């Protein structure tokens, strides 16, 4: 049985799942989204994802035509229909159908799409052996042009960075701010460990305030680690004891080489591996339960 996709209250097969070419999400990237994970029938931190979704929508003046409770029910029903105990959930709110102009007032009804499927962002060997990444020329969007707290459908800035990494034979890219400070990767937040202190760039520099990012900061603090949001240079990344990436789809990925500089021992570090284990334990305990 193929996957069933929720579109505005109805379910469609993968091949039947269509939106209008006049939808402003398609035409202009006008909308917001969340990527969410479920583990063993437990939707991890769904409340936090929905809070961020509604905040993003509020900032771009997009009124979501469902309550959080109704959206939760629709997400759970989508997982049940697809018989998915472990899933990646893509929740999309588009501005909806309008005309060929930009004016959002021409879009009377936002559209809601829920896709639930399996995902493997990186091959398993990268979690075991570590990932090599590269800095790319594309800068992160200026925060005063597009606030990084808005998880919008327009990801062209990130896609350009990913293309540049791919063209050089890498799977992930470090994006810098306009003044050369480390912001984030094309699809993940970045952390370093130096002298047992956990550092990650602050969101105001252009980094998304990721749910997994915040979870790792919580885990670090609970385990007596000093955790700081700090402006980071590439020099500090090159000379870190350990580096890792975080994201809903990626989870936690060790980094062992940046711009051809070996990080630490060149293998996933002990603290990173411990944080990976602790994160896995948390995903089995915290979230919204569903059954089928």
The CATH code for residues 4-117 is 3.30.470.10
The pLDDT of residue 183: 98
Average pLDDT over residues 7-26: 97
151 is catalytic: yes
pLDDT at 133 over 90: yes
The pLDDT of residue 1: 63
Closest by Cα among 89, 7, 8 to 41:
89
Q: Where are the domains of the chain?
A: 4-117, 124-283
* C-alpha to C-alpha distance for 3 and 188, rounded to whole angstroms: 26
4-117 and 124-283: same fold? no
pTM (predicted TM-score): 0.95
pLDDT in tens, 233-269: 999 999 999 999 999 999 999 999 999 999 999 999 9
Residue 18 region by backbone torsions, left for phi larger than 0, else alpha for psi between -120 and 50, else beta: beta
Average pLDDT over residues 9-33: 97
pLDDT band at 80 (very low <50, low <70, confident <90, very high): very high
Strands (E), 45-146: 87-94, 111-117, 131-135
Question: Which tokens in the block code for residue 55?
Answer: 């905040």
Class of domain 124-283: alpha beta
Average pLDDT over residues 136-149: 93
Contact 192, 199 (CB under 8 A): yes
pLDDT band at 120 (very low <50, low <70, confident <90, very high): confident
What integer best gives the mean pLDDT of the chain?
Answer: 97
pLDDT at 211 over 70: yes
Strands 131-135 and 251-258: parallel
- Which of 41, 151, 257, 285 is an active site residue? 151
């Amino acid at each position: 049985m193929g996957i069933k996709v929720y579109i505005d209250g109805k379910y469609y097969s993968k091949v039947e799942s269509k939106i209008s070419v006049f939808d402003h999400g398609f035409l202009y990237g006008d909308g917001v989204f969340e990527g969410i994970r479920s583990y063993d029938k437990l939707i991890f931190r769904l409340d936090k994802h929905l809070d961020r979704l509604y905040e993003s929508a509020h900032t771009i003046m997009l009124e979501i035509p469902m309550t959080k409770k109704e959206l939760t029910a629709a997400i759970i029903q989508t997982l049940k229909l697809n018989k998915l105990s472990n899933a990646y959930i893509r929740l999309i709110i588009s501005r909806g159908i309008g005309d060929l102009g930009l004016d959002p007032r021409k879009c009377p009804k936002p559209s809601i799409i829920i896709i639930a499927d399996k995902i493997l962002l990186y091959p398993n060997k990268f979690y075991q052996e570590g990932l090599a990444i590269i800095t790319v020329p594309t800068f992160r969007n200026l925060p005063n042009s597009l606030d990084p707290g808005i998880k919008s459908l327009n990801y062209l800035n990130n896609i350009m960075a990913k293309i540049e990494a791919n063209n050089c034979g890498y799977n992930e890219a470090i994006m810098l701010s306009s003044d050369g400070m480390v912001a984030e990767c094309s699809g993940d937040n970045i952390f370093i460990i130096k002298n047992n202190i956990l550092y990650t760039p602050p969101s105001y520099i252009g980094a998304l305030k990721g749910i997994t990012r915040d979870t790792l900061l919580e885990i670090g603090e609970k385990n007596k680690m000093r955790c700081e949001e700090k402006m980071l240079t590439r020099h500090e990344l090159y000379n870190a004891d350990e580096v890792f990436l975080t994201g809903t789809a990626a989870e936690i990925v060790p980094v062992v080489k940046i711009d051809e500089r070996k990080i630490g021992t060149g293998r996933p570090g002990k603290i990173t591996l411990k944080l990976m284990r602790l994160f896995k334990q948390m995903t089995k305990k915290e979230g919204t339960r569903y059954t089928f």
